Amino acid sequence: MQRILTRGEIETLDRTRIVRVIPAAPDTFSIRAQRLRQLAPDNPIQDYLLLIAQLADAQQRVSEQSWSLPLVDEVQAAQAQSHGMSLFSAASEPRDTVWQHMLTALIEQLQQQELPEPVRHILQELADTAPEALEQQASALLNQQAEHINAAQAPFIMAALQLYWSLRVKTIDPAQVPAVTPFGLCPCCGSQPVSSSVQVGGPKEQIRYATCSLCATQWHIVRVVCTHCEDTKTIAYHSLDEGNPAIKAESCDHCQHYRKIFYLDKDPHADAFADDLASLPLDILMGEARFYRANNSPYLWQPADAS
């Protein structure tokens, strides 16, 4: 019989026995697209899940193209190590304009697909948007400045930013990742997690990992702790009566926020992004209970005036 380790037991384990950081798989976007299609039938947002599956497929194809990306330098890595920071700070670090070329490639990939006319209109608007305006939108998304975000365009801009940062992170030597980084932020790009997963198998058995909403890196985070404010005293778990038993919302009364947590022993195919998006009814339940998402889904943004 499996036994769940307590937070104290995990913290006292030999750190060399815990894999701290798990890079995104080369086919991560393809896996995401496949999972979205599996989850789409009979889902309340079936059509949207299928659209995002097309977007994830486009991300995979664009990721396999040849791109010239800026590399982390030794000075930057040393500073991050000495100050206990993430290796990059995606929200504040200047972006190479190659991310906009990735957005263009994404739009071109999608325009070759069968899409609803409103989506085609959004894509054309994006294609005609000035570079300066795209940079402003990108900064607003990465800093979650809701009042400056175009909710209709946001999933596509975010998809390009995910590509840019996931490919940049792939160039990192694992030894460059700082040993200590701020709690609740990706040790590679400094972004917030989209969700967390309790793993199965080998040295990761029953160990929780958060998944970066931007570069899809996973990093170890102890269980029964708020991934937003680090509180341990007021954690509770919520699920839908007829929902997937592998999905729960982990809430915190201290900060009134929540994130979803997936249990891979109950569903080994659960995906941090796809299952988060497909479990929108759980978000509605948490909203009715007056809890707030710690951060948006990268693929679904509400207008600033949404109630």
Global pTM value: 0.91
What does the pLDDT read at residue 307? 42
Chain mean pLDDT for the chain? 92
**What is the per-residue pLDDT across 235-271, written as a single tens digit (0 to 9) for each?**
999 999 888 999 999 999 999 999 999 999 999 999 9
3-state secondary structure the chain: CCCCCCHHHHHHCCHHHCCCEECCCCCHHHHHHHHHHHHCCCCCCHHHHHHHHHHHHHHHHHHCCCCCCCCCCHHHHHHHHHHCCCCCCCCCCCCCCHHHHHHHHHHHHHHCCCCCHHHHHHHHHHHCCCHHHHHHHHHHHHCCCHHHCCCCCHHHHHHHHHHHHHHHHHCCCHHHCCCCCCCCCCCCCCCCEEEEEECCCHHHCCCEEEEECCCCCEEECCCCCCCCCCCCCCEEEECCCCCCCCEEEEEECCCCEEEEEEECCCCCCCCCCHHHHHCHHHHHHHHHCCCEECCCECCECCCCCCC
What does the pLDDT read at residue 304? 56
